[in-house]
């Protein structure tokens, strides 16, 4: 989630300004539906956590507003044994548009469902059209999709199209061609199916966070399974080794093309927790 600045902070939450959906970072939708729910596998209760999208912001000018409330967690996390991704039982998502026709969302959903309905009947994608101040300062559209499995794993993907600024158009000899809503829907659906085919308990964009949570656990063994290691995931493992002195045992599984990782946590505690 791309955030430009923090404008206010209180004991109950923080208001963030910036870009809510782009092509570089996981969207606020994935953060809400997938990222926060990863914490429960490490002993963090989700009661008290909330993320409200007051307005969306597309690149390049942003203008989105998000209110995030995070409760005070226990002093330590809980080591996880998270290796069974299960089978996909339903697909959910949200298609958004900012400062463009809301009909684009229907075209995205129709194209995505055309792919998913070949494999699974339980597919529901909501729409979220924003105009005026709630639509930020730049036009754009996209979709966030989540596959939920029988064991509670959530795999998400994001695809966004944003209109370039006037300065960017002037610098280009030709006006850039934008991805159509139909192509966007097919692309997002194909990306999610690829994440499912990769295997593992998280999608590729959440590998780094998964490894960090394992490393922050108490001195106990955490065991997780992911698909093919991403460059970002590999770099995160190196940083964990350098900063926390935690090393993972990595064991590839040639039968499922997945990778199992085990480590003993560094025992990091939340020293800022209030004492009741």
**pLDDT at residue 170 above 60?**
no
Collapsing DSSP states into helix, strand and coil, what is residue 251?
Answer: strand
Q: What is the pLDDT of the chain when averaged over all its residues? A: 90
Nearest 5°: the CA angle 129, 132, 136 is 80
In terms of residue numbers, what domain contains 116?
A: 88-198
Structurally, how many domains does the chain consist of? 1
Q: 55 in a domain, yes or no?
A: no
Radius of gyration of the chain (CA): 20
Please give the model's pTM, rounded to 2 decimal places.
Answer: 0.90
What pLDDT, in 10s, does the model give residues 134-144?
999 999 999 99
Q: Torsion-angle region of residue 105: left (phi > 0), alpha (psi -120 to 50) or beta?
A: alpha
Q: 45 in a domain, yes or no?
A: no
Q: Are the beta carbons of 33 and 20 closer than 8 angstroms?
A: no
CATH of the domain at 135: 3.30.360.20
Q: 262 in a domain, yes or no?
A: no
Q: 40 in a domain, yes or no?
A: no
| Cα gap 184→109, rounded to integer Å | 9
Nearest 5°: the CA angle 117, 120, 122 is 95
93 bridge partner residues: 125, 145
The CA–CA distances, whole Å, from 217 to 209, 264, 266 equal 13, 8, 6
| Cα gap 225→233, rounded to integer Å | 13
Phi, psi of 215 (to 5 degrees): -70, -30
**Element (H or E) spanning 51, and its range?**
strand 50-55
What pLDDT, in 10s, does the model give residues 73-95?
777 899 999 999 999 999 999 99
**pLDDT at residue 276 above 80?**
no
Q: 203 in a domain, yes or no?
A: no
């Amino acid at each position: 989630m791309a955030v430009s600045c923090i404008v206010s902070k209180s004991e109950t939450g923080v208001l963030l300004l910036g870009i809510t959906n782009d092509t570089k970072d996981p969207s606020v939708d994935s953060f809400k539906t997938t990222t926060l729910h990863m914490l429960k596998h490490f002993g963090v209760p989700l009661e008290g956590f909330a993320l409200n999208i007051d307005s969306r912001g597309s690149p390049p000018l942003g203008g989105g507003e998000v209110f995030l409330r995070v409760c005070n967690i226990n002093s330590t996390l809980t080591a996880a044994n998270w290796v069974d991704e299960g089978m996909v039982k339903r697909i959910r998502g949200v298609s958004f548009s900012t400062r463009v026709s809301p009909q684009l969302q229907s075209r995205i959903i129709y194209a995505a469902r055309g792919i998913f309905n070949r494999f699974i009947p339980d597919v529901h994608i909501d729409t979220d059209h924003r105009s005026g101040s709630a639509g930020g300062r730049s036009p754009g559209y996209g979709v966030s999709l989540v596959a939920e499995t029988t064991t509670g794993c959530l795999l998400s993907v994001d695809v966004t199209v944003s209109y370039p600024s006037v300065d960017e158009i002037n610098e280009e000899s030709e006006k850039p061609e934008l991805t159509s809503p139909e192509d966007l829907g097919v692309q997002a659906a194909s990306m999610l199916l690829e994440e499912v085919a990769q295997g593992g308990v998280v999608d590729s964009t959440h590998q780094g966070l998964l490894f960090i949570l394992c490393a922050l656990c108490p001195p106990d063994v955490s065991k997780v399974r992911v698909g093919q290691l991403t460059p970002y995931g590999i770099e995160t493992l190196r940083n964990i080794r350098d900063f926390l002195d935690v090393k993972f045992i990595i064991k590839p599984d040639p039968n499922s093309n997945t990778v199992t990782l085990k480590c003993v946590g560094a025992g990091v505690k939340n020293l800022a927790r209030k004492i009741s």
